[in-house]
Amino acid sequence: MRNSRNVDFLRPDIRKLTLFGILSFICIGGVIQTYVFIGEESGIPKPPLYDTLRPFDLWLPWIIFALPVHLIGRLLNFWWLIEYFPNIGFRLPLASIIYAYTISCWTIHVWDRWLTYRGRRRVISIGIASVLLLYLPIVFQPLTILSYFTKIVSGFIFLSLILIVYIVSIYGLYRLVRAYMKF
């Protein structure tokens, strides 16, 4: 019975699925936006939704979000598995999507279990303030072009969300390790 409780945090609910949806959007959008580095000169056709997603900043948030997946994949030499990922005009970031679901569930679990109201406010403040420091030079420039404004605001929101997810998740791992170290 205890083993089934260990993975109860993976049981879906509306908040976990909402966070998963946003993180999956970042993953898929980031992969699609990678086309900007390949270009049309390469002869590779544009991925679906490339032009639609162009005004949003998804590539950098995806890279930062998927960094643990890439580091672990490189460390454990799992890159040969990419051949088995679905190809729908681009390689579906399956590992990133699985990671997105797992971290969404873990984040909501930690949020509910270990963070107080005051702790939640602190985490949100730290996440937003950290990303704001990155965006300060950009914020003081005149944002006259709507697509540029959309790119800045979307990047700020997505990076803040990812940083908040990381802070909550790492805090949860700390609490988990601390709880098991007592035994």
DSSP string, the chain: -HHHHHTGGGS--HHHHHHHHHHHHHHHHHHHHTHHHH-GGGSPPPPTTHHHHTTS--HHHHHHHHHHHHHHHHHTT-GGGGGGS-BSSSB--HHHHHHHHHHHHHHHHHHHHH--HHHHHHHHHHHHHHHHHHHHHHHTS---SHHHHHHHHHHHHHHHHHHHHHHHHHHHHHHHHHHHHT-
Asked whether residue 1 carries a pLDDT value surpassing 50, the answer given is no
Residue 87 has pLDDT above 60, yes or no: no
Taking only the tens place, the pLDDT of each residue in 89-98 is 445 567 788 8
Total domains in the chain come to 1
For residue range 40-78, what is the model confidence (pLDDT) as tens digits?
Answer: 777 788 888 999 999 899 999 999 998 888 787 778 777
Question: What residue numbers bound the domain in which 68 lies?
Answer: 2-181
* Residue-level pLDDT at 39: 75
Res 13 pLDDT > 90: yes
pLDDT at 123 over 60: yes
Residue 79 has pLDDT above 90, yes or no: no
Q: Which of the two residues, 146 and 73, has the higher pLDDT score?
A: 73
